[in-house]
Chains A and B, each alone.
Chain A
Amino acid sequence: MSATPTTSTPSAGQHRLRHVLGQWLFHLYGFAGYAFFYLPILILVIFSFNDSRSVSKWAGFTLRWYEAMLQDRQIMLALWNSVFVAVVSTAIATVLGTLAAMALERYRRFPGRLIADITLYLPIIIPDIAMAIMLLAFFNLSGIGLHIWKVHFFGVRLAVPISVIIGHVAFNISFVAVVVQARLAQMDRTLEEAAQDLYASPWRTFWRVTLPLMMPGVLGGALLAFTLSLDDFVITFFTSGAGFNTLPVRVFGMIRKGVTPKINAVSSLMLGFSLLLVTLALLAARGREERKVGFF
């Protein structure tokens, strides 16, 4: 470098000060970001243990709101409904979404490819409320209606909210398909050719090679679908018949009668559940990555 010391060059001390200040501001910014996101959640969780009906004044530790929550049959039923809808819709959406992703990835060129892409991405970008109204109209016009099917399943009586499940499948297919497609795009096609070269029929190639290799994508998509389904309010609210509540819908009903720490407890429970799912997803992804090191 041909730079010569001149009066306009800042001294070493100035450089250092600037550097330290910059670091400090940077950390502050990061901290503020975290606080903005997580402080409300922290407060919500803390007040779920508050021994008072107040949601602003601390009056000592208690578990009585959790007790009340567990004894509230309505909440427990809503929780069951949420999990049931999430499990069933995730299972269906994962199969259909994976098939859609494979078709789009396999057959890159066909007439109407763009339209197929657009229709697949649409449920991700269109507002929930628009989708909810469309689904409602669809159920009314098609005659499916908003019925709850009563099903006997190995001696257990199940209430199957067919319209809610179809609604959840409808938006979850897109999310699964997008995640699986991303995985398929980086998969080596010659692996499937190699399997076929080694006498595996297309069917066995799928089970022995394609599916195991795209499994991280399928699992990731399923986990995402499950979380979205568990979390959904708008579409569930519009497509569920009278008397059917999922947890978010139930919480909404409770909140209209006033906020109590019981709602905090329910929210904390859902938060804990989501946290668990995210952790599992990250752990699964990390496990895969470690195995992949050195392969590419």
Chain B
Amino acid sequence: MPDASSAAVELRDVVKRFGDVVAVDHVSLRIAPGEFFALLGPSGSGKTTTLRMIGGFELPTEGEVLIEGEPQGYKPPYQRPVNTVFQNYALFPHMTVAQNIAFGLEMRGVPKEEIRRRVSEMLDLVRLSGYERRRPHQLSGGEQQRVALARALINRPKVLLLDEPLGALDLKLRKAMQLELKAIQEQVGITFIYVTHDQEEAITMANRIAVMNKGKVLQVGTPQEVYEQPQTFFVADFIGDTNFLPVQVMQVTAPVEVMTESGTRLTASWAEPTLRTGVKAVMAVRPERMHLYRPGSGPEGPEWNRVEGIIRQVIYKGLDIRYEVFVAGECSLHVRMPVGRSEGTFQRGEHVIVAWPRAAARVFRSES
């Protein structure tokens, strides 16, 4: 199987049903060796169930899970070449840190001397040397997290599965652990499959992201692709902040043209393939791609969209200033402008032009 062996993990048309509920709905994925792959979605999107099927804790109702080209079939977790970092760490409370980390090697009958050596290597890697004899309840959340990581990595699995491993940590520690995890992954070169509902976390850490909702994978791509070229309304809405303008489709072939409810014509770089001329849709634009200008100035031409509005709210955020602009008869737009631009800052109540390039605009079927 020359082709299959190139993927660390492959899901082929996997379905998981719990009674009448379809938790995972025809998911196919290929994850390359050494990749940091994120499964991103809201709770109930099927991301954890997908991970559990790779680990062997759930068996697919339909379809197949392959690890390094080998179909896993009904193999139980203890026969799969993967290890898991659980959401609540699941450290054994009746064992010391060293015993916890050694558990996997011990189960596989690795000689005692080698176990001792590798445990101390692992403790070095996660910077917990000297903690051998402590018990899990004597550790902080971040330390428990690192023990859980060491306990999984010591087995040198082909793939490491991580189920919201940072979910229980406070924000500051989480940011630090994100960078640490990423560094460790690059150091050991093991494929990571990382489940999270935090889009910022996924974008920070992953090489590729699969966005899931209602059991389906909606889009797979690099963080940049997923952020800049969302394929569905859900992805555009779930990842980052987005302005949605209600519009009517005028032309679906490039250049895409739409019309706002008050009759302003706008142009976009892409429209969802299922859209037809005349139907209602939404135009999505990121707040940082929109610019404010004083009336009578700013870029013009076929590549640019312009609407008039009134500043309703000004919020200073340090790095940038966020404006809420009311567009008559339409909606409110959120605009993010870096501090220190030549136009200076705008005041509440000021009339402005909101402009954004065609390349920054995408048109989706509206979902409610």
Contact = CB atoms under 8 A, between A and B. Distances in A.
Interface of A: 188, 190-191, 193-201, 204, 208-209, 212-213, 291-295
A197 B135 CA distance: 20
> What is the size category of the interface that chain B forms with chain A?
20 to 34
Of the listed residues B83, B86, B107, the one surrounded by the most CB atoms of chain A closer than 10 A to its CB is B107
Contact of A209 (B77, B88, B92): B92
A188 B90 contact: yes
B138 A198 contact: no
A197 B107 contact: no
B107 A199 contact: yes
A190 B90 contact: yes
27 contacts: A188-B88, A188-B90, A191-B93, A193-B77, A193-B86, A195-B103, A196-B57, A196-B76, A197-B77, A197-B152, A198-B83, A198-B103, A198-B104, A198-B152, A198-B155, A199-B104, A199-B107, A199-B108, A199-B155, A200-B103, A208-B103, A213-B93, A291-B135, A293-B137, A294-B138, A295-B93, A295-B137
A84 B77 CA distance: 44
A198 B90 contact: no
Contacts of A194: 84, 86, 90-92
B48 to A, nearest CB: 12
Contact of B86 (A190, A199, A292): A190
Contacts of A213: 93-94
Nearest to B80: A197
Given A193-B57, A194-B91, 9 more contacts: A190-B86, A193-B90, A194-B90, A196-B57, A196-B76, A198-B103, A200-B107, A201-B78, A294-B137
Contacts of B78: 196-201
B54 to A, nearest CB: 11
Of the listed residues B55, B82, B93, B108, the one surrounded by the most CB atoms of chain A closer than 10 A to its CB is B93
Interface of B: 55, 57, 76-78, 82-84, 86-88, 90-94, 103-104, 107-108, 135-138, 151-152, 155
Contacts of B91: 194
Given A193-B86, A292-B137, A294-B138, A198 B93 contact: no
Contact of B107 (A190, A204, A212, A291): A204
Contacts, number: 66
Contacts of B92: 191, 194-195, 209
B119 to A, nearest CB: 13
B55 A197 contact: yes
A213 B151 CA distance: 19
Nearest to A194: B90
B77 A196 contact: yes
Contacts of A291: 135, 137
Nearest to B99: A208
Contacts of B135: 291
Contacts of A193: 57, 77, 84, 86, 90
A199 B152 CA distance: 11
Given A197-B77, A295-B137, A190 B88 contact: yes
Contacts of B94: 212-213
A177 B272 CA distance: 60
Nearest to A199: B107
Contacts of B84: 193-194, 197
B168 to A, nearest CB: 13
A24 B151 CA distance: 58
A11 to B, nearest CB: 51
B155 A191 contact: no
A198 B151 contact: yes
Nearest to A205: B78
A190 B48 CA distance: 14
Contacts of B77: 193, 196-197
B151 A191 contact: no
B115 to A, nearest CB: 13
A137 B78 CA distance: 49
B143 to A, nearest CB: 13
Of the listed residues B78, B83, B87, the one surrounded by the most CB atoms of chain A closer than 10 A to its CB is B78
A209 B57 CA distance: 17
A291 B103 CA distance: 21
Contacts of A191: 90, 92-93
A198 B88 contact: no
Contacts of B93: 191, 213, 292, 295
Contacts of B57: 193, 196-197
A291 B57 CA distance: 30
Given A212-B94, A213-B94, A295-B137, A197 B83 contact: yes
A213 B90 CA distance: 13
Contacts of A195: 92, 103
Contacts of B103: 195, 198, 200, 208
